[in-house]
Amino acid sequence: MIGIVIPAHNEEALLDECLRAALRASQHVQLAGEEVQVLVVLDSCTDRSAQIVSRYPVLSLSIDASNVGEARAVGAWWLLERGARWIACTDADSRVADDWLVAQLGLQADAVCGTVTVEHWPDSVDEAAQIRYHRHYQAREGHRHIHGANLGFSAAAYITAGGFKPLACDEDVHLVRALERSGAHIAWSHRPRVHTSARLDSRARGGFGDFLRNLAQSGEKNTDQIDL
């Protein structure tokens, strides 16, 4: 069984597209009918996220942590306890490609770090800031970016690395560093594709939205260190 973990905190505006994309990926013909369970971890939601999730053939858990690291950890362990051999992570403001799971598994690695494509730049991020972003972002094989919106790992590698830590941000970075220390084979690939939101009202302080906001506010921002 393959598991998809999607943490969500007040994501009613973007959750429909996220779930539709995840379900398409879960039904790809090249998965040869293997079971895929999509799990949404509703973290401290006060909007209509729970109602939206209830309309789809997905699973959900509700927690009150306001902590994306804990939400990912709860979701991952829940799926592992039910027999998941591979866990794929994305975000509720993101849309995975139809062949996302196939691309991750096809790399035959212990873990996969994929890239993201930013779409629908807000007006507050001017053209100069967008150019700075694209100049430094490496959407290619062998990149070194880390995104919770496009991350996958085997059950064995995750357990050996100790899993996600309950961090308010950079939980994905800490997990990948632990995977590296454990000797896991990590594929840094552009093949698994994910479109993500360019919104600046980020749900997690220090996350990708904060990075984009800082980029928009300062032409001096060091964009070499995009490891979110």
In the prediction, which pLDDT does 220 show? 41
Predicted TM-score of the model (pTM): 0.88
Q: What structural domains does the chain harbor?
A: 2-217 (3.90.550.10)
Helix (H, G, I), strand (E, B) or coil at 29: helix
CA distance 96 to 69: 20
> Which helix or strand (DSSP H or E) is residue 96 part of?
strand 94-96
Residue 209: C-alpha distances to residues 87, 128, 129, 198, 215 (Å): 24, 17, 14, 7, 10
In the prediction, which pLDDT does 222 show? 43
b vs e for 48-85, b when ≥16 Cβ sit within 10 Å of the residue's Cβ?
ebbebbeebebbbeebebebbbbbbbbbbbbbbeeebe
CA distance 194 to 191: 10
* Tally: H helices and E strands in the chain: 8, 10
In the prediction, which pLDDT does 120 show? 75
CA within 13 Å, CB half, 6: 30
Residue with tokens 């969500």: 8
CA distance 180 to 149: 19
In the prediction, which pLDDT does 217 show? 59
Residues in the chain with pLDDT values less than 50 = 220-228
Residue 49: partners with Cβ closer than 8 Å, 6 or more residues away: 8, 9, 10, 11, 12, 15, 40, 42, 92
In the prediction, which pLDDT does 213 show? 55
Closest to 18 measured CA to CA, from 44, 35, 42: 42
In the prediction, which pLDDT does 129 show? 78
